[in-house]
Structure 1
Amino acid sequence: MERRKFMKSAGLAGILAAGSAPALVQAQQQIRWRLASSFPKSLDTIYGAAEVFAKQVSDATGGKFVISVHAGGELVPAFGVVDAVQQGTIECAHTAPYYFFGKDETFAFDCAIPFGMSSRSLSAWMYQGNGMKLMRDFYSQYSIVNFPMGNTGAQMGGWYRKEIKSVADLNGLKMRIGGFGGRVLAKVGGVPQNIPGGEIYQSLERGTIDATEWVGPYDDLKLGFHKVAPFYYYPGWWEGGAQLSLYINDKQWNGLSPEYKAIVTSAASHAHVNMQAMYDARNPTALKQLIAEGAKLNRFPRDVMDAAFKASREVYAELNDKNANWKKIYGDYSKFLADQYQWAPIADGSYDQYMSAQRLG
């Protein structure tokens, strides 16, 4: 009687903290899921987020719920994960939702749109605003239940074979650029290319493309882009805070017990926070190394930023006219964004500006 009373009052979190998980999950079903990543194993940050998630789920269930993680191309192509989850070929996936803007531009809200939210703003919109509800409604069309699972923070503007001195230098530039940014780049004269992470270096080395963006210093150093395209620009205006997502087939999700659903939700949140922490911890050292190895760091000229911003507004206006899914979410997203940027420069923005001007270390 006392044990039943304890379990009822303590809840799942208390039982896990007390080390009683094995007793709790003893009666739970033994589950084996496969997770298809859109990323190569060499990227311990992005690919690693799925491994962190899977380990949390296994640890919290005493090994009763095991999720095997597979790199892009092992189970399904890197860009085939939406179809695979929707069809039930795999139980879940980890990906950058804006890869699938060709299916519907609305996917991009769950990742990044040009001149969109920062990582903190996006998390606020998803967890405390209407973001999660709106995206869940959208994903129901694809039999997907989504969870935020990682963020890169603001990304760099990419690697270029030649200097970008003005917006005119973008004319005819063939650039690997993920998701929505390519559509805006095209409006200012660029030629976007959608290439999986594992194939970028070879394309740049062979001259198939003139430039590429990926994430930031830590991943870029691993991928070696500076060896074939030395000009490194910032900021990545198309990815002010790129969010990764966990996709779960809705039938698989609905088949889980309440306890397992709580564990999956918690594990995804842990992986979400951990991924950006990894980037923030590793990027400073990696940037120093890139510069030491010859990378030429530059800020985008103002006319490039202004032209891209103007082009992004044109793209969004066009989508509001032709895509009902997009329009349903854009109004809420853009209002939340505007409110965030009335607040963000006051506290964190001004503090960061002051601290960056000091002699630290």
Structure 2
Amino acid sequence: MDRRSIIKNAGIAGVLAAGAAPAVHAQAAVRWRLASSFPKALDTIYGAAEVFAKKVKEMSGGKFEISTHAGGEITPPFGVVDAVKDGAVECAHTAPYYFFGKNEAFALGCAIPFGLNSRQMTAWMYEGNGLKLMREFYTKYNMISFPMGNTGAQMGGWYRKEIKSVKDLQGLKFRTGGFPGKVMEKIGVVPQNIPGGEIYTALEKGTIDAAEWVGPYDDQKLGFNKVAPYYYYPGWWEGGPQLDLYINQKAYDALSAENKAIVECAAAYAHTDMQAKYDARNPAALKQLVGSGTKLRPFPNDVMAAAFKAAEALYAELNDKNEDWKKIYADYSKFRADSNLWFRFTEAKFDGFMQNQKL
């Protein structure tokens, strides 16, 4: 019988029996490096990169491996965008608003003062136009983005002195993550953009008067309660800050369709995993902090009102001078209005009732 007929008419068993097994092209192994903006000590926020890398390896059967590197190991914490853009590393995990100095539109991919909460941010990204608009913007930096983590609403930070009114913020040297500092400047604060691993020393030495990081679980690990007694809430500048996975566009394009799907799924898994960890770990940490003497305080109403007014003024200014911001913010702000209307009748009312119960 003609050899080609055997292959055509037999199943795989027939092909193998005939000794005519077709060539199988094994997928080449892929090795990447991921640069993080965070220190290894923070197992939640840095850990998201490790969770991502672990899932990529598992789903690829070990064929796709990504080594993770803390801020400063292979690139400075705030140098990761340039490293990805230039192809020095294949990918990075970071908070997009760290890079507002390049373009304020970066902040819209992470958090802006009085912006979206974590669920709203995820909805805007996946079901709204968020991911599409941010990816269009990131083409200028030779990279593609994937949502990869959210801390949930953050705390308002640690202060060496009590804040009784907006007047107490005048001249206050305050560590905050990038873009929110532009609003704080308008209400008299002197913002300081310091990497997570350097905050404690600056606060201890009095180089800064106050600092915010994330929330009780991370803040306790970093020991801020030892050098600043007052802990304020809420972090009005970070209602739902999203972390991103940035990938060099050329490196991403070189992946097989299967590996692209693996990256997408692993990033989505890490995205959910990060907030689950924060939501589970923050309550116990807050109890421990208060139990050890931390003075928990809400921001005074005049601070919140002044900050909101300053934020709206800043956004109006950016609409006039930054076309990237104007395009993305128009969609963002409409989504925020619609989402807040919905949450007003559902999440907010339910949460408010439950939090007043003696459970």
- 1:258 and 2:257 matched: yes
Task: Report deviation, 1:26.
Answer: 7.5
Residues 1-361 of structure 1 mapped to structure 2, 5 A cutoff? 27-360=26-359
Task: Report deviation, 1:340.
Answer: 0.6
Q: Following TM superposition, where does structure 1 have runs of at least 4 consecutive aligned residues deviating by more than 4 angstroms?
A: 1-4
Residue identity matched to 2:110: C
In structure 1, what is the Cα distance between the partners aligned to 2:257 and 2:77?
A: 31
Task: Name the SS of the counterpart of 1:247 in structure 2.
Answer: strand
Residue identity matched to 1:350: K
Task: Report deviation, 1:315.
Answer: 0.5
The answer for the alignment partner of 1:12 in structure 2 is: none
Task: Report deviation, 1:171.
Answer: 0.2
In structure 2, what is the Cα distance between the partners aligned to 1:255 and 1:101?
A: 29
- Per the alignment, do residues 354 and 261 of structure 1 end up closer, same or farther by CA in structure 2, a change over 3 Å counting? same
Structure 2: segments with no counterpart, 5+ residues: 1-9, 14-23
Task: Report deviation, 1:2.
Answer: 7.2
Percent of aligned pairs with the same residue?
Answer: 69
In structure 2, what is the Cα distance between the partners aligned to 1:28 and 1:230?
A: 56
In structure 2, what is the Cα distance between the partners aligned to 1:334 and 1:354?
A: 28
The answer for the alignment partner of 1:18 in structure 2 is: none
Give the paired residue count. 340
Task: Report deviation, 1:185.
Answer: 0.5
In structure 2, what is the Cα distance between the partners aligned to 1:331 and 1:299?
A: 31
TM-score of the aligned structures, taking structure 2 as reference length: 0.93
Task: Report deviation, 1:303.
Answer: 0.4
Residue identity matched to 1:220: D
Residue identity matched to 1:293: S
In structure 2, what is the Cα distance between the partners aligned to 1:117 and 1:191?
A: 25
Residue identity matched to 2:62: G
In structure 1, what is the Cα distance between the partners aligned to 2:117 and 2:125?
A: 12
Structure 1: segments with no counterpart, 5+ residues: 5-24
In structure 1, what is the Cα distance between the partners aligned to 2:12 and 2:182?
A: 59
In structure 2, what is the Cα distance between the partners aligned to 1:237 and 1:180?
A: 13
Task: Report deviation, 1:268.
Answer: 0.1
Task: Name the SS of the counterpart of 1:344 in structure 2.
Answer: helix
Residue identity matched to 2:317: E
The answer for the alignment partner of 2:20 in structure 1 is: none
Task: Name the SS of the counterpart of 2:145 in structure 1.
Answer: strand
